[in-house]
Amino acid sequence: MMVGMRSDTNLKVFKLGPSGSFDELSTEKLITQFSLFDVLAFFSLKQKRMYIWIGKKASPAIKSHIPEIRELFTNSYPDLRILRTFTIESGNEPSEFLTLIGITESEIEDHLNELDTRVLPAMAEINRLKTKASKQFVSENFESAISLSKKVIDIAKEIDDESLEMNEEIFVNEAELQLQRKKQVKDIEEEAKKLTEVFNDLVKLENFEAAHEVVDEFKRNHSRFPGFNEIPKVHKLLLKDENLIHNLILTKEKLKSQLFDLDKEIGGLLENNHIEMVKIEIAKIEERKEKFGDDSTMLTNLLEIKGKYQAKAEQIIKQLTDLSKEALQSLVNDDILNAIQVYEDIVSRLEIYCKE
């Protein structure tokens, strides 16, 4: 029989994968199943013993499953009952294990040394590529990082290092996600830049509600994007909107105060016939009415003030109309003195009404 070849049906061999799964291997040319990077499980059907053999370059990801390997194996192969488990480091194979597999210690050592000699240049290249890929990732040059990592994957396949291959695939997936995110961030930044110009133009036109709505819609579209608020151009636009809202609130409070004061004083002002003064104050508030927003109380208050003003204005117009008729009638009756007195009364009243 050739070295490492056997046909014993007492033995089953499995390879432990990086995810904790098992793949059953052929027992033909058994020596070729030994690898620098693998963890192998040898199960004796007669003795119901499992020998866990650990390659000297096995990755931490694979070795992390060894403490629970018995449970993992039983879950995968419930018909194969394990009575005892033994863990073997490469180079420390006990005699009963060697007898079970029918291979000598020197045969395993020679095979692994040959693999090591063949793999050594590849490992140097792998380390170089992995170091460079990590630097590119940190520098956010994700496309370059992905390209370098895929070269590592190709080498890992050549040397049959399944664990390294899986780890690099995880790295590539993460780099691809970061690359996609980087592109999305760039798109959001471009949109934020354009909307900032729109926002500024609307503020200059004092169309504050529209300016706020621009930002509000932007937030609705992208607020679920991770780190949205921390994107520099976005953060700057959101601050502008916050300042606008703050200023609108302050302006609104000031208008509320003016309305309150005018409402409190309007009775006395109208009683003293300061109609023009009230008119001017109402006009000032009217000019800024859009800043009331949806505050129905402020709108109602303003309407009440305008109603009082209008009622007083109509009263004054009636009084002046009556006085004008009286003056005209005095002229018709040749009562010039009374006509002059009435017109002087009208002028005097107008001076009071028009006083600012």
Per-residue pLDDT tens digits for 142-193: 999 999 999 999 998 888 777 678 778 888 998 999 999 999 999 999 999 9
The answer on pLDDT for 5 being more than 50 is no
DSSP 120-164: HHHHHHHHHHHHHHHHHHHTT-HHHHHHHHHHHHHHHHHTT-HHH
C-alpha to C-alpha distance for 123 and 56, rounded to whole angstroms: 14
Determine the average pLDDT of the residues in 295-324.
Answer: 74
The answer to whether residue 4 sits within a structural domain is no
Largest CA distance in the chain: 152
Q: What is the pLDDT of residue 179?
A: 93
Q: What is the pLDDT of residue 214?
A: 93
Do 141 and 95 lie in a common domain? no
Q: What is the pLDDT of residue 287?
A: 61
Determine contact, residues 225/192, Cβ cutoff 8 Å.
Answer: no
Q: Give how many domains the chain has, as a whole number.
A: 4
Count the Cβ atoms, other than its own, within 10 Å of residue 66: 17
Name the burial class of residue 181, with classes exposed (0-12), middle (13-18) and buried (19+) by CB atoms within 10 angstroms of its CB: middle
The answer to whether residue 269 sits within a structural domain is yes
The answer to whether residue 131 sits within a structural domain is yes
Q: What is the pLDDT of residue 267?
A: 64
User: For residue 50, what are the β-bridge partners?
Assistant: 43, 85
The answer to whether residue 1 sits within a structural domain is no
44: domain CATH number? Answer: 3.40.20.10
Which tokens belong to 244? 């606008």
> What are the tens digits of pLDDT across the range 84-125?
999 999 999 999 999 999 999 999 999 999 888 888 888 889
169: domain CATH number? Answer: 1.20.58
The answer to whether residue 110 sits within a structural domain is no
Q: Which domain holds residue 138?
A: 118-181
Q: What is the pLDDT of residue 7?
A: 46
For the entire predicted model, the pTM comes to: 0.53
Count Cα atoms within 13 angstroms, Cβ side, for 263: 16
Which tokens belong to 353? 């009404």
Do 277 and 209 lie in a common domain? no
